[in-house]
Amino acid sequence: MATDACQKYIKDGKLTLSTGCINTSFIELNEASENAKIIQIINYKEDKNKKVGAFKAKIIDGAFAFHPVFFHESLAEQLVKDGIVNGAVNSENSPIIATYSLCPSNMAMESNRLPLMIKSYELLYTNCPALESEKSNLIKYSGDPEDHKGFDKTKITPVFIAVNGGVKTEKTEAPPTTISNPSIPIKVVAPLINKPIGMATRGAPPPMKTNSSGSSNQSFTPISAITPYASKWRIKGVVTSKEEMRTVKMKSGESKVFNFDVCDDKNSTIKCVAFGDVAERTYLVVQENQMLAISGCGVRQANKRFNNTGHEYELSINATSEVAPLKDGPVIVVQYELKNRVKLDELPRKVGESVDVLACIDKVNELNAFTSKNGGNFVKREVSLIDQTGVNINFVLWGDQAKNFPEHTEGQPLGIKGVFVKEFNGGLTLGTTGSTKYVLTPDVDGMAEMCEWYNNSRGTVQTQSLSTGNASEGSLGRDLRLLGTASALQLGRGEQVYMNVKGRIMSVKGETAIYKSCPSENCSKKVIENEDGYRCDKCNISGDKYKFTYMLQMEIADMTGQIWITMFGKNAEQFMGMTAEELAEIKNENPSEYEDIFHRLKFATRIFRIRAKSEVYNDEERIKYNAFTVDVPDYNKLNPILDTVIDRLNALPI
């Protein structure tokens, strides 16, 4: 129901929401704007125990939804007069107001984001249904204009209210319906913005369009132009990568997930993601090197950890999306590019990300077959790579990729697109994902120079390996931590964390430093003594043989705290300077010398490369610390890092 004040804001019989005015308010920061901002209140709460922030609301502007929004305390009486009180604002009564004073407030919030404040307003419309029923079309405004810098309100279909009571959008074809009974709900049509993945729609959605498109000679949107703010688009591209279907655990239970990449004739690529039943249907339609027409998907921010397309966004396929093969027209020929190429010495700063790499093959290692803890049989191959920076890293291949990788390819350049930088056992490796593509001697910029460097200079270069697990110069400063800080922040709880610690060895458990383990080469399971000798439950073998294996436990400390760390196998052997068999022999022949070995380790200052990882033991979660390397501090490298930390601390405001 329109109020008298509404008349001056009506144009062509319509009262239109100020599309994007929430974003404008955060950009302009004006307490009094020249133009009125017309918004709808879809939620309201009053806390009479508060003086400041007592009148709190959630608003929408036709494009964005935002909360909290506070009404100034001077508006208390006006809010009551206008019926904007607790319990009165709901899905059937979401008042529309005009304000010249929508501006961010400096009020402190627990969420650390600024709220909006309204110091004056006019009531324009009451008894109007909210856009809440179509909120999946609205973008949740973050409070930071930088997060929405691609927003263009001209691409949003405005939402307006006809003076006779109907709510329509500019593209509505049906004429306005005259509402004679004000109690009849008014239909709300949300702006035509793509829905984010995971948002529900009302009623049963129509089936996803997967039938072949009749012709490719239609107007298509460039993939580079796809943003969450584009109202209507349709892209055409070739499938450059199709991943296998995976099952993932979500809050609602297990779900299928399927990813594939498409590239258009401008060589722009975007990732497409589907879940659940939609993933299973899409998987049957999509084939590599196939031309597709795609439309009607949600658009969300790309996850750089698993997305190497170079596009800022990715597509979320839902039940109403179109994913249709194109029958005719030329197939797009994709040019092999390494858009996200990084040099090998930059990889320590890219841990957990998907990158592109160009390097020369330094060594192709033999296939390695082994049995996992769960009893599965696997094969892997490590390919050592090097580039002009003198840095060396292992590229790890599994299964058929490991078996089929060509041997005797040392010295050849290798381009890898979409390789994952992983930290394991204190070192870095490059691992494949479902979309990883590697090409020998790729036709890309820098390939010829790479070959020339390897042939002429490789033999004279002193290399540094990122895969050995030591605290390299790059990671030393990046991951340097104090033990007290690590404990206070509970580093390792939830997701494992690698860190470097400069500490002192306080004690070593010599009595449990070695144990009898399975004699098999790739097994370190502790054997059980019985009447027949020794048994390994993991390998299901018995006999009179065993081998000694390290499990070295040490207490280390710095000026802020102390922890117990554990070193296993080869890592402990390197630290001790002798094999477990040699240490066992000393223990058997000269027990006092055995004790002296550990006593001499006490109070030594070292740099420890440690992994903090949570585990559950007897229904209790705890953080376990494993050490991979122990090095004598190189103060020529350490001191500049500490100086930088001190400078940063001195620069902090007091």
Rounded Cα–Cα distance for residues 650 and 654 (Å): 9
160 near 168, Cβ under 8 Å? yes
Query: In Å, how far are 197, 283, 496 from 277, measured between CA atoms?
Result: 14, 10, 32
Domain 473-641 matching CATH 2.40.50.140: the answer reads yes
Out of 193-207, 485-499, 603-617, pick the least confident: 193-207
Instruction: Extract the runs of DSSP E, i.e. beta strands, from 187-245.
Output: 234-242
pLDDT of residue 12: 83
pLDDT of residue 186: 30
Rounded Cα–Cα distance for residues 70 and 57 (Å): 6
Q: 0.85 exceeded by the pTM? A: no
Q: Residue range 194-215: average pLDDT?
A: 46
Residue (of 433, 439, 438) closest to 243 by Cα position: 433
Cα dihedral value 482, 483, 487, 489, nearest 10? 10
**What number of residues does the chain have?**
654
Indicate whether 557 pLDDT > 90: yes
Angle between helices 591-599 and 580-589 in degrees, nearest 10? 130
Decide the pairing of beta strands 541-543 and 298-301. Answer: unpaired
pLDDT tens-digit map of 336-384 = 888 889 999 888 888 888 899 999 999 999 998 877 666 678 889 999 9
273 near 197, Cβ under 8 Å? yes
pLDDT tens-digit map of 278-297 = 999 999 999 988 999 999 99
pLDDT-based confidence at residue 495 (cuts at 50, 70, 90): confident
> pLDDT over 90 for what percent of the chain?
32
481 near 641, Cβ under 8 Å? no
- What tokens does 520 get? 């098999």
Indicate whether 388 pLDDT > 80: yes
Rounded Cα–Cα distance for residues 189 and 169 (Å): 6
Which residues make beta-bridge pairs with 255?
248
Q: 295 or 7: whose pLDDT is higher?
A: 295
Rounded Cα–Cα distance for residues 28 and 150 (Å): 16
pLDDT of residue 602: 93
Angle between helices 569-576 and 580-589 in degrees, nearest 10? 60
**The domain 223-325 belongs to what CATH superfamily?**
Nucleic acid-binding proteins (2.40.50.140)
Quick check: bond before 68 cis, omega within 30? yes
Q: Residue range 180-192: average pLDDT?
A: 33
Rounded Cα–Cα distance for residues 191 and 225 (Å): 19
pLDDT-based confidence at residue 123 (cuts at 50, 70, 90): very high
Indicate whether 69 pLDDT > 50: yes
Rounded Cα–Cα distance for residues 284 and 279 (Å): 9
- The yes-or-no answer to whether 4-169 and 223-325 have a common fold is yes
Indicate whether 575 pLDDT > 70: yes
> DSSP string spanning 295-318?
ES-EEEE--TTT--S--SEEEEE-
Q: 4-169: which CATH architecture?
A: Beta Barrel (2.40)
Which of 104-113, 575-584, 644-653 is most confident? 575-584
Kindly list the domain boundaries of the chain, sorted by start residue: 4-169, 223-325, 344-465, 473-641
* 3-state secondary structure at position 428: strand
pLDDT tens-digit map of 443-460 = 888 899 999 999 888 888
* 3-state secondary structure at position 596: helix
Q: 279 or 105: whose pLDDT is higher?
A: 279
Which of 67-81, 207-221, 250-264, 559-573 is most confident? 559-573
Q: Cβ-count burial of 284 within 10 angstroms (0-12 exposed, 13-18 middle, 19+ buried)?
A: exposed
CATH dotted code for 344-465: 2.40.50.140
Indicate whether 203 pLDDT > 60: no
